[in-house]
């Protein structure tokens, strides 16, 4: 029994030695941290937003820890950074910092707050954001213009659809007093008018890459393609040799084409197509296009009497004949029916389109003209014994 007792005693001593040794090491570690003192952490930013700019960003942040009096911002894997003071502020108010000279890129930023001697720091607040530059600029285009028409007392511009990231267009012109004027047309606007224009006008389109962008990008200025609306009071009935004037009755004279009303129309009996009628614009001019309206009576719209296909010819001199000698072809045209539905059925879009009138462009290489020859080659429904047309408006080169 005695040897066994000694064996147990030795084992017990070994265990006690190990425990005492472990406690000693733990105390040494504890003493080490006590000697270092208590670790103090600074509160990280409560929230951070990065606002895009032109080769720069704005850091907007909120900080509520009063110990946070310095802010460090790191980017590009901490190869670049900036340290700024955090001014006295209310915890609910945002603070802002501009970081300039940032080439176009999507950056990852790290924000760290510190106490005044930079001894104590917060944990990192990561956030990403982009700067924009030449690459984004190269994608910008001016908003398309449907038409810009100069009437005697005002300019009316119709805009095509909104452009992604575009916010509007800036117009620049000289007014009647000789002053330079700039006006802004929001991207949501489809039409705008100017009543004091003298001479030409140019425009550029404004863009922001993100809704909170701090900078606006612009396209280059370019001229607005203005056309003048011709004065219909100058238009006259006129017929050259070989093209007699006809009308269905005195109610439907050719002058109905320029009486500024779509409730009246020119109507005439015809010989088999092609059928020509002519008139005088009252002056020689460079035509750019025209707009015409069908007879809008619902039982006639896109049917029998209304013109479907036609040609327009012009001449600067009245010395022309029915053989087309002396005439210049300005274009060949066809009326559109948006729905494509069969004759006798019209959609709401068809009616709206016809009510608004159809726009046509003439050959831009054609010379100036004064006398016009309208040649009907087909009516809706194939009828070749009668033709009607409600109204025509002509556009000429501005200035």
Domains of the chain are 47-132 (2.60.40.10), 139-225 (2.60.40.10), 232-397 (2.60.120.260)
CA atoms within 13 Å, Cβ hemisphere of 266? 23
CA–CA separation, 127 and 107 (whole Å): 9
Nearest 10 degrees: Cα torsion 24, 30, 35, 41: 170
Identify the H or E element spanning 28: helix 2-36
Span between the terminal Cα atoms of the chain, in Å: 129
- Residue 352 in contact with residue 323, Cβ under 8 Å? no
The SS3 call for residue 29 is: helix
pTM of the predicted protein model: 0.76
Instruction: Using alpha carbons, select from 332, 325, 328, 330 the residue that is nearest to residue 242.
Output: 325
pLDDT tens track, the chain, 399 positions: 445 555 554 455 454 444 444 444 444 444 443 444 556 789 999 999 999 999 999 999 999 999 999 999 999 999 999 999 999 999 899 999 999 999 999 999 999 999 998 889 999 999 999 999 999 999 999 999 999 999 989 999 999 999 999 999 999 999 999 999 999 999 999 999 999 999 899 999 999 999 999 999 999 999 999 999 999 999 999 999 999 999 999 999 999 999 999 999 999 998 789 999 999 999 999 999 999 999 999 999 999 899 999 999 999 999 999 999 999 999 999 999 999 999 999 999 999 999 999 999 999 999 999 999 999 999 998 877 899 999 999 999 997
β-bridge pairing 391-397 and 287-293: antiparallel
Whole-angstrom distance, CA of residue 190 vs CA of residue 161: 8
Q: Please, are residues 198 and 176 in contact by the beta-carbon 8 Å criterion?
A: yes
The token pair at 301 is 């719209």
Q: Which position has the token pair 């004949």?
A: 321
Q: Pull the structure tokens for residue 304.
A: 């029998």
- Compute how many other C-beta atoms are within 10 angstroms of the C-beta atom of residue 73: 21
Contact 316, 394 (CB under 8 A): no
Which residues, at least 6 apart from 157, have a Cβ–Cβ distance to it below 8 Å?
145, 147, 148, 149, 185, 191, 192, 193, 194, 224
Q: For residue 85, give the 3-state DSSP assignment.
A: strand
CB distance 226 to 249 below 8 Å = no
């Amino acid at each position: 029994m005695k040897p066994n007792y000694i064996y147990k005693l030795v084992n017990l001593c070994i265990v006690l030695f190990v425990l005492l040794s472990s406690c000693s090491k733990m105390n040494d570690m504890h003493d080490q941290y006590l000697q270092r003192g208590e670790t103090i952490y600074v509160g990280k930013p409560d929230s951070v937003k990065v606002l895009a700019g032109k080769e720069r960003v704005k850091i907007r942040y909120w900080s509520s820890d009063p110990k946070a009096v310095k802010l460090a911002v790191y980017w590009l894997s901490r190869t670049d950074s900036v340290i700024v003071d955090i001014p006295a502020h209310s915890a609910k108010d945002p603070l802002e910092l501009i970081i300039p000279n940032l080439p176009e890129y999507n950056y990852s930023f790290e924000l760290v707050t510190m106490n005044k001697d930079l001894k104590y720091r917060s944990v990192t607040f990561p956030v990403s954001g982009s700067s924009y530059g030449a690459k984004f600029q190269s994608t910008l285009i001016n908003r398309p213009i449907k038409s810009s028409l100069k009437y005697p007392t005002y300019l009316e511009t119709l805009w095509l659809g909104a452009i992604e990231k575009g916010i509007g267009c800036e117009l620049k012109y000289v007014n009647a007093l000789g002053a330079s004027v700039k006006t802004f047309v929001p991207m949501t606007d489809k039409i705008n008018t100017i009543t004091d224009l003298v001479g030409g006008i140019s425009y550029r389109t404004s863009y922001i890459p993100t809704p909170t962008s701090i900078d606006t990008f612009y396209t280059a200025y370019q001229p607005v393609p203005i056309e003048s609306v011709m004065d219909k009071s100058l238009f006259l009935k006129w017929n050259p040799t070989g093209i007699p004037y006809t009308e269905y009755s005195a109610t439907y004279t050719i002058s109905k084409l320029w009486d500024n009303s779509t409730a009246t129309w020119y109507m005439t009996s015809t010989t088999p197509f092609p059928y020509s009628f002519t008139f005088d614009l009252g002056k020689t001019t460079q035509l750019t296009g025209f707009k015409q309206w069908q007879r809008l009576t619902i039982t006639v719209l896109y049917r029998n009497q209304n013109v479907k296909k036609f040609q327009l010819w012009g001449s600067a001199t009245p010395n022309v004949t029915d053989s087309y000698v002396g005439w210049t072809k300005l274009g060949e045209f066809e009326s559109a029916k948006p729905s494509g539905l069969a004759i006798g059925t019209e959609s709401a879009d068809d009616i709206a389109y016809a009510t608004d009138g159809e726009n046509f462009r003439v050959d831009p290489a054609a010379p100036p003209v004064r006398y016009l020859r309208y040649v009907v080659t087909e009516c809706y429904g194939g009828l070749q014994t009668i033709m009607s047309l409600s109204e025509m408006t002509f556009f000429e080169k501005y200035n």
